[in-house]
Structure 1
């Protein structure tokens, strides 16, 4: 079940750039292809790249478009070069049409720190996502739900998910739409100029995770915002898991960074493996969405039927469902990790509570697990950080005034 206010907020977030403009889309296409082209030069010149399962992505995209579904790809996050290098591994046919180029998210305090960088990443089809407590209920996540909702499914049949127009809740939704941004209105225009359904790529861990041996190439837990992209679009997306290794050696995390690190590529001649899995079982995804629908029926007020209630955002039942969905997604990516030749992961790494404690104590809770370079899961090491409470309310905004010591930068 979808909510009109979520879709409307997604529209608003996407409207921050003129994405209905043909001029904008022309330069957006050029930006994306330029970045992919430069990345291809680096990979093809300096590294040995193997892509397994490309036919799975081909077939998923064809089937999704035929069934009028969005496409969601999920991948582990080992390096700051994962995107765009993951796309540079694919054939050029994936970039001929702007609609086939992925949407993605990036940290606002890293990639959206000025007008220039904000414009560049926006043209690269990247959405600004805030971390450190902002949580899954923020504009970027609403935009992702909207991107995965085909434009011709913004109707009562898809949004109500079988409620039927005669039910009290459906009638209340239609009535309350008078005060909302109404996608059923003849004047409504989608925020993105597109001819077919979209591809969205996410890194569900939310942070780069580079651990030292023997835990290298392990993953963090998958964050609950990804579950929103499964449960809330008007139609279920086609979901393709991906696992990669080798990018972490191209761009290893460092304690000391310099401006030259951005242009330096390590482990030249090394192997990069991208393993693309088969689309996930639609019956399992439909089962998750049915559980979500039942929760929506249980916790949606007739007086405020177009808004997601606090119980659906922060209630224990909703949290358990999002956790179950995220755990299932992580398990599917983890299977691809085993296919890439790695040993089975330590069971602690799929546990949210273990990571929360490990992060809060800056690794002291389990000193046997160590990061390569800085722990990017820790706000202490990041500038321009906004800090939020558990419901996403802004508590603090500081520039370079961090909770702990920051690693020194080399001077050149």
Structure 2
């Protein structure tokens, strides 16, 4: 962790905390113990945390994290979130790139699909026990806070993150309300937030949602063919090399120790052996469960 990153996270976190305390009429935080408990859990070296929430303003992140404890989170980069940010909006120049990268934002190319490097990096962070926050709607949706408003369909990237981790991460649903009035859309002054608003931030219990998603993940994993069943003898793979051909939890073939025709044969056989439609179906089901978890929390969330 560089000193630049530590300073960026601390400055933004403390600035967000100052705004919540001085520029908002009230800030109600419910269920924060669910996140803090997950952050304190032993064994985080190989099991990450995902928070998923609605997205109601351009300042949801970082302002909501101003509600976190200073010593435990804001001044402790290990306990601060990683998140994904659009390349065409947040990484448009050298200064912005420096700022957001040091603020633990992963540059994401919209429309590049679920197998892009940004999602790979998010999976790697989760496998190291880090916390990743996701706005699965993929864009600001202030209509979701209005009467009869609904969440936009969640993007599949969050499903791939969950399916690709070594261990299913702790999944914490979140609901944010009130920040749509701080930065309403449209607004006359683009960069000027409105003060004196009431804010509510709710963290849901992760247990039921995590278990439900884990069941789907394990069902999908158990249905996939074992790489050992692939017929590689025609490629001349010796037993030691055969053992090196493994299927990682993201559904991709690790061919780092293979080369040439052996590598090509392994990939060809893998493509024939796996029903990718089943993977897509599992991803859709997982994302639907995540969306329902966030929507259900919204119904029971405390108003601002």
Q: Which TM-score bucket, shorter chain as reference?
A: 0.7 to 0.9
Q: Among 28, 31, 35, which residue is 1:50 paired with?
A: 28
Relative to the length of structure 2, the TM-score reads 0.79
Q: Which residue of 1 aligns with 2:118?
A: 140
Contact 1:70 1:237 in 2 (8 A): yes
Question: Aligned to 2:225, what secondary structure does the other structure show?
Answer: helix
Question: Aligned to 2:52, what secondary structure does the other structure show?
Answer: strand
Shift of residue 239 of structure 1? 1.2
Q: Which residue of 1 aligns with 2:174?
A: 242
Shift of residue 98 of structure 1? 1.3
Q: Among 269, 279, 301, which residue is 1:340 paired with?
A: 301
Q: Which residue of 2 aligns with 1:288?
A: 216
Q: Which residue of 2 aligns with 1:297?
A: 225
CA distance in 2, matches of 1:315, 1:296: 10
CA distance in 2, matches of 1:310, 1:274: 44
Question: Aligned to 1:73, what secondary structure does the other structure show?
Answer: strand
Unpaired segments ≥5 residues, structure 2: 233-244, 254-269
Q: Which residue of 1 aligns with 2:109?
A: 130
Shift of residue 100 of structure 1? 0.9
Q: Which residue of 1 aligns with 2:205?
A: 278
Of Structure 1 and Structure 2, the greater helix share is in 2
Shift of residue 292 of structure 1? 2.6
Q: Which residue of 2 aligns with 1:12?
A: none
Q: Which residue of 2 aligns with 1:368?
A: none
Shift of residue 129 of structure 1? 0.8
CA distance in 2, matches of 1:313, 1:145: 21
Of Structure 1 and Structure 2, the greater strand share is in 2
Q: Which residue of 1 aligns with 2:131?
A: 199
The verdict on how the C-alpha distance between 1:79 and 1:201 changes in structure 2, with shifts beyond 3 A counting, is same
CA distance in 2, matches of 1:29, 1:55: 24
Task: Report the number of matched residues.
Answer: 266
Shift of residue 51 of structure 1? 0.2
Q: Which residue of 1 aligns with 2:12?
A: 35
**CA deviation map 1:383-402 (0-9, x unaligned):** xxxxxxxxxxxxxxxxxxxx
CA RMSD, Structure 1 to Structure 2 (Å): 2.6
Question: Aligned to 1:292, what secondary structure does the other structure show?
Answer: helix
Contact 2:213 2:289 in 1 (8 A): no
Q: Which residue of 1 aligns with 2:147?
A: 214
Shift of residue 253 of structure 1? 1.8
Q: Which residue of 2 aligns with 1:321?
A: 282
Contact 1:244 1:273 in 2 (8 A): yes
CA distance in 1, matches of 2:212, 2:74: 31
Contact 2:14 2:74 in 1 (8 A): no
Unpaired segments ≥5 residues, structure 1: 1-21, 151-196, 343-412
Shift of residue 149 of structure 1? 0.8
Contact 1:107 1:129 in 2 (8 A): yes
Contact 1:79 1:248 in 2 (8 A): yes
Q: Which residue of 2 aligns with 1:233?
A: 165
The answer as to 2:57 corresponding to 1:96 is: no
Contact 1:103 1:200 in 2 (8 A): yes
CA distance in 1, matches of 2:59, 2:197: 15
Q: How does 1:359-374 map to 2 (within 5 A)?
A: none
